[in-house]
Amino acid sequence: KNGDFASLSAIKAFLYISTRNAAMNYIDKEQRKAKRASTIVIEEEEIEDSITREIIYAEVLNELRAEINNLPEQCSKVIKMLYDEDMKPQEIADELNIKVSTVYNQKMRGISILKTRLSGATFDMLMLYLIFNS
């Protein structure tokens, strides 16, 4: 409108400020978009890492269970009762009609056998499994 601007310099100032504000809004919008995109990438990487860890964990557990099943019968029973059924050594001793010291001996024997049969990384995962599930 003719009456809105008093002079040519007022028009220039208005155009300069409008252009500057539009540019700043555009930059802010692009920065927010980039931040969202990087957040999505990070979340996707975290999900992929989580899935990879779960797959590795499942594979280690499968290998571990197979080796536990290949232990001598008494060792296998004791290990399964301790870690799968979450039984106490005294409960295992009572159920199997053996001494508590035998339970501990069978546990240590089983772990020793597993240590020799499993690869280094798998055995390390086993130890973490035993630590967090005992």
CB 90 within 8 A of CB 101: no
pLDDT score of 44: 83
The per-residue pLDDT string of the chain (134 residues; one tens digit each, 9 = 90 and over) reads: 445 767 888 888 888 898 999 999 999 999 998 888 888 878 888 888 888 878 877 887 888 889 899 999 999 999 999 988 999 999 999 999 999 999 999 999 998 898 888 877 777 766 776 676 55
Using alpha carbons, list the distances in angstroms from residue 17 to 6, 31, 98: 16, 21, 89
| pLDDT value, residue 119 | 72
CATH class of residue range 2-132: mainly alpha
